[in-house]
Structure 1
Amino acid sequence: MQIKKNNNIISLIVPIYNRSTFLPACITSIINQSYPHLDIILVDDGSTDNSFDICKEYAQNDKRITVISIPNSGVSTARNTGIQHAKGDFIQFVDSDDMIKQNACEILLNEQKKNDADLVICGFYNIDSNGNHLSDDYSDSPISNLEDFYKNFGSLLDKNLLRSPVNKLYKKTVIDEHKIGFNSDFSIAEDGLFNLHYYRYMNSPVVIRDTLYICTDHNDTSRLTRKPHENYFKIQNIYFEQLVNLLKTKNAYTKQNRNTVMYQYLQILITGLEKKAMHNESLDLDTLHKNILWDIFPVRHNFDFVSNKVTLWIEKKQENKLLYAFTNTACKKKFAAIKYTQYNKKIIHKIYGVLKIIFWQCAEIISILR
């Protein structure tokens, strides 16, 4: 596949903080792109390992690379710094522990040209930290207009294609004209808020099935045991309020989209409760009820359902935190095994996947019975 008579520049922005183990593979995947007209911006966010030295070494051998060093300020500031220095017509973000397939830029730009798109979204090719393929996340069918984008918004949200900035090609003029940036006050949900802002002003989105972004999964349980953000519920509520507002503004708050938003919010809520329970933080009912965005649940039955879930967390889930953590891990591992089995076609892999499903299902049942 070749792009003819096209010299548009793509600025690839990589925020970096202590990722020396994964950084060479990340940068290599970028400099080896089949599309050559790249503006590669490596923003070192005050790393304490040798990430900055790795960046400088690559920059010496590739004139397309610009290395910027800033005091440690968080991923939002690093990405905003990259945007400020971007010279390209389009912008892509790549996390420093991830990679992109060799023809990613070429395919994304070709799709942009075919549709004069403001945004092109691709799928994820998910691997573990050892490089083993886990699963794929992609749209069931391609989308090439605004109406279909919002009609299928819930489905795209459910497939984790809308919240992250890394699987997208943005038009820089849209970002500049509407002063779209990442909120440096937030260390969670900042990526989703950036995209909601961008979605509000775009006119021609394209969603393709290709899984061009290689995402490294470092283990869900480590995220679960990490100390919860001080304003976790407040910030997530800001995100979901803006999400609902966007859909209503675009006349797209349909039953299907609303149900997906409700389900995702419930998952976010449960994750917050899990983290607080793991770290022995207060889970009093009054505080939680004040922090929950009840407008997400317009039906009385759903309101009662969520309320009961919250009450159960407070009354029962703290009784044995270690046991609950194991139950939760077993559940996550089981679903990861299901995905593995679904997406691997070789019979030996399917057998291996089924055995993993059985093992983790048994572990989950045993922990619950205890």
Structure 2
Amino acid sequence: MDAAGNISWAITATALVLLMTPGVAFFYGGLVKAKSVISMMMMSFGAIGLIAVLWVLYGYSMSSVQDPAHFAGDPFADFGLAATAAGGGSNVALLSIAYGATFAIITVALISGSIADRARFGPWLIYVGVFGTVGYFPIAAWVWGGGWIMNLGPTLFGVDSGIAVIDYAGGTAVHINAGAAALALALVLGRRIGFQKGIQKPHNVPLTLLGAGLLWFGWFGFNAGAEWASPGMGQVGLIAINTLGASAAGILGWIVIEKLRDGKPTSVGAVSGLVAGLVAITPACANLTPGWALLLGALSGIACALAVELKYRFGLDDSLEVVGLHLVGGVLGTVYLGFFASGQGLLTGGDARLLTVQVIASGGVMLYSFIVSFAIGYAIEKTVGFRVTSEAEVAGVDQAVHGEEGYALVG
């Protein structure tokens, strides 16, 4: 593909990944109460607005480091992208920055699903801004911007070892990060009133299926978008077939578990399996043969279907299964590479070194994200208050928080 074609794909991929966040809004919106759908969707759109602005101002500058020992980049190194916009090659550079912004946006938006039906919008935006700054931006630098995770293999095993953490599109930086943060925030805000299995029903299943379809569509930009910078579009074909195969296998894995456990496969279960497969293949999409990608997708559907049931056992109100899908799926996909990455996995011609760095990277991001998210959420709850009143929660938060109704029914 020529340079113009590569740039065209980059613009398309950026739009595809940005569309995923409205997809999250629809996916989450259909799963909550009818009187909370506006609140749920606004949390995603609020994340788009704030994170995009912060990324332009200083987030991009923080997302790369000169030394692996540095925590994050200098936020004032290119404040507002003034230097990049005025420099040579700014056309391509700014496009790459825009693509990176869409990853930051969706990572933070995903977290909102863990606190559905009970969060205030203003405190949520405070959380978005602070977590984006000290949560996502530094982790992006660790994984993709020259930080310690990017250099973990050479640090442990030498620069000539050929061992490096594999996270092609965001198993650690996006999914483990969002899942661990969601776990912390669910603990801070506590359970919804009347929380128990079966009491909270999706109010609009077709809306959730629409959101899942948008996510599936956008995920091809999410996984394959970065190939625009590779000569000849690199491994875009492998990435595309692995993304399709793993997500399809995830559907099958989840609904088989539902059938065995509950007697009936559900549509919400099918699209949850779809997302589980997509999450798991995200870090691995360029480093598995298609057969191993199918197995990963099936395992993710099964594992995540089993994991989401644990919240009732532990009393954790992860409202929309962010932990069960993104944390479990992200860890599975990242660690799976240690066993099955082409030519490097423990069972595909390599040794335990890749598995070692994959586990360390997963654990490091999980621990850091959980601690930071808990601290931010706890501080907000104890100062301005994060959770709505009990009266607003029972009545539905749309009117109390936004003064709107999702469905204005005329008799």
TM-score, length-scaled by structure 2: 0.29
TM-score, normalized by length of structure 1?
0.32
Which structure carries more helix by proportion?
Answer: 2
**Which structure's CA Rg is the greater one?**
1
Greater RCO, CA 8 A, separation 6+: 2
